[in-house]
Structure 1
């Protein structure tokens, strides 16, 4: 694909963008890249922490005269007439800005759904980086965009959009996608000489010598690795959310409710994510799943990348590719194709160009609720408690995420709809948190969820 040809109208007009949530890693990286692109005009920035946003802009080298803090619509209009970025703390002031696209990156579902609805209803494209919102109401917002003749999309640079792109690339080429997935956030780095595993800034003495090689009994080897590293977390809440978005956008279903999370080396993926009858771990094909990247210090990282495992149709062709270094399973029936990175906002301009210049999302135009992320109670909850969400990964304290087929969800609440809601009824340990137990009065997210299309 020649992207210069694809976006040959770049330079003929300026894309007016508003970024909501500019202080985080995603927002900062997008600002970095937009400064290198004269075709993108940063028209507005929105964050309740105005001073923090100003500090972020200063650290990036923005001139103080390039930004005006705005408290009302008149301020916004004056700032834009002067050619300045309108910096606002109230998202409702975005309505006073002439925009082509809003990039939503607050990480706050109740707020982001309002921002997205407002933009779409006034004919402004939306790139939704708040995957928590997308997992709950992406199908509705996608349909709302179509009704208003604009684009709602996942942004490239986030794993969901990158994986949707890889899946659809494979399908267009005629591949059968057996499994699609991603690596979890952090690598497990094994030093075979020191017999240690590094995970984030932790180092643990452990030997994986007996299970470092996958061997013929894959299930036993994976179980041994998991047991040896049981002192470390082997699942992460955002993975369920991201794969929920991918499932809804592609129709691929969860491999298992808890997802599999094998500790796997990159060169093993085409042997692991295949059907059990062929030696792998899958009970069905056409699924989404996730793995923990296991590597040595001198191995390359998967870097939060994405992959598809496809069925090999011609042995001679795939043996040729195997000799060229591509990942083909030991039995020759499956191959893994992967992108070992996601570059956050540095890649996102591709989605902005696609939406504004081509009128096409880098996500899906046919989102349906194929899967639902739900919350399993790890303890007894009492009526009156709040399902508090917090931490870097927006987890719910006392609840474990699962990703289930929509047909299995029943009346369970979507995970991020339940977050920060007060309970009207007890929820027993081991139960899925039900909608009926939540105080949903005034929830914009619930109102939007009720308008999701059905399968």
Structure 2
């Protein structure tokens, strides 16, 4: 039975999936827009630092105000309405809620929310992939130990990439490479919230009209978000990562199977079975026609002549050898697709992407020379960007994960382009996020690793 049919059945039986949402920003609002159009779903509660902002989001996406008049979670459960609060624990600890959708975008807070939800028997769909990037393998284990499901969010690119990888492997294809697209030139790694709009392709006026957050958008542009998402994909699928960061080879959709081959066969990969990100810009800045900027892809290999001949007979577009084929989705719809994760977790007991190993890490890297006393401002800010590295390399250098490079003080000079280590900053050891990361580093420690 399809997920939609199962949702319709739950609706008919009066047993909707009961959801709690933490964070009603842009991503959360996109999911909110779809909930009234999805059978078998009851949004019991929304927790947001600003309940008024959450109400404004509901109005913006077209909710009937009468649906948000519940004065408590208990009232919401009885009436089918939605309760709005600023108390996130009222969501994670409410016995009537089945799944928590974590949508804050704050990695330190997200870890706390996830752990508390697990402790109170809640499944979690984690939209805050920044948290998954630095401690996803242990979050997954904590969820398993608690008897609940932890999942990446469908609609975001990592879960969509995981879906393509699963398709390939289920069909019997070896995965040569998988990833997403991005608008990239090397100097974008130095971008700040003040320079983001020109590089991104919007005017400041357009950004202001849309209420767009320059720091959040800059985290995409400067390479942090592609690294974060690639890290989550590598840890969920077991794919490897480049030894010194993403390469961002420029390619049209047509050329993806050409560039995502091993170097020995004319591509860019160090080996088969890797994550990579395709740039939508040529090295000189020219836009590539029919790009994959907003999409995802997987490249597979025909291991026999028969399979290679099938590619040819059915007009599958391949590299010149005929052996490498790329399947892709050119677009992703972000929060509008999260319902797939909610339904999959609740009705099939399956995550739409979850870490199974620790292959990759994202290390905070200086955008400019940093001096003692300066405060790091995390992804998308003025001080650091995220560089994707193999987890064992990050462990050996004591790499500072980007997700914990928020509001921490620099202790010693760091040169532009240098990846930071734990020794470069004053660690905030009080948070659940730090403690979980330290526990994970100890679990995976190498003989010469400089763990947190």
TM-score normalised by structure 2 residue count? 0.82
Aligned length: 406
Would you tell me which structure has more helix in proportion to its own residues? Answer: 2
Match of 1:137 in 2: 135
Q: Is the Cα–Cα contact under 8 Å of residues 9 and 357 in structure 1 kept in the other structure?
A: no
Q: Is the Cα–Cα contact under 8 Å of residues 69 and 88 in structure 1 kept in the other structure?
A: no
Q: Is the Cα–Cα contact under 8 Å of residues 418 and 438 in structure 1 kept in the other structure?
A: no
Residue 57 of structure 1 deviates from its aligned partner by 1.1
Residue 430 of structure 1 deviates from its aligned partner by 4.3
Match of 1:209 in 2: none
Rounded to whole Å, the distance in 2 between the matches of 1:81 and 1:6 is: 22
User: Structure 1: any 5+ residue segments left out of the alignment?
Assistant: 188-197, 203-232
Match of 1:289 in 2: 276
CA RMSD of aligned residues (A): 2.8
Higher mean C-alpha deviation, range 311-320 or range 141-150: 311-320
User: Structure 2: any 5+ residue segments left out of the alignment?
Assistant: 186-198, 204-219, 446-452
Give matches, 1:43-442, under 5 Å: 43-68=44-69, 75-94=72-91, 95-96=93-94, 98-184=96-182, 200-201=201-202, 236-293=223-280, 300=290, 302=292, 304-315=294-305, 317-322=307-312, 324-364=314-354, 367-389=356-378, 394-409=379-394, 410=396, 411-436=398-423, 437-442=425-430
Residue 23 of structure 1 deviates from its aligned partner by 2.5
Secondary structure at the counterpart of residue 84 of structure 1: coil
Rounded to whole Å, the distance in 1 between the matches of 2:47 and 2:228 is: 24
Would you tell me which structure has more strand in proportion to its own residues? Answer: 1
TM-score normalised by structure 1 residue count? 0.82
Rounded to whole Å, the distance in 2 between the matches of 1:28 and 1:301 is: 28
Rounded to whole Å, the distance in 2 between the matches of 1:177 and 1:235 is: 28
Match of 2:36 in 1: 35
Rounded to whole Å, the distance in 2 between the matches of 1:339 and 1:449 is: 33
Secondary structure at the counterpart of residue 376 of structure 2: coil
Residue 68 of structure 1 deviates from its aligned partner by 3.7
Does 1:448 pair with 2:445?
Answer: no
Rounded to whole Å, the distance in 2 between the matches of 1:319 and 1:173 is: 16
Q: Is the Cα–Cα contact under 8 Å of residues 21 and 105 in structure 1 kept in the other structure?
A: yes
Secondary structure at the counterpart of residue 113 of structure 1: helix
Higher mean C-alpha deviation, range 444-453 or range 101-110: 444-453
234 and 397 in structure 1: CA distance in 2 versus 1, 3 angstrom threshold: closer
Match of 1:193 in 2: none
Rounded to whole Å, the distance in 2 between the matches of 1:6 and 1:338 is: 28
Residue 48 of structure 1 deviates from its aligned partner by 1.0
69 and 378 in structure 1: CA distance in 2 versus 1, 3 angstrom threshold: same
Residue 253 of structure 1 deviates from its aligned partner by 1.4
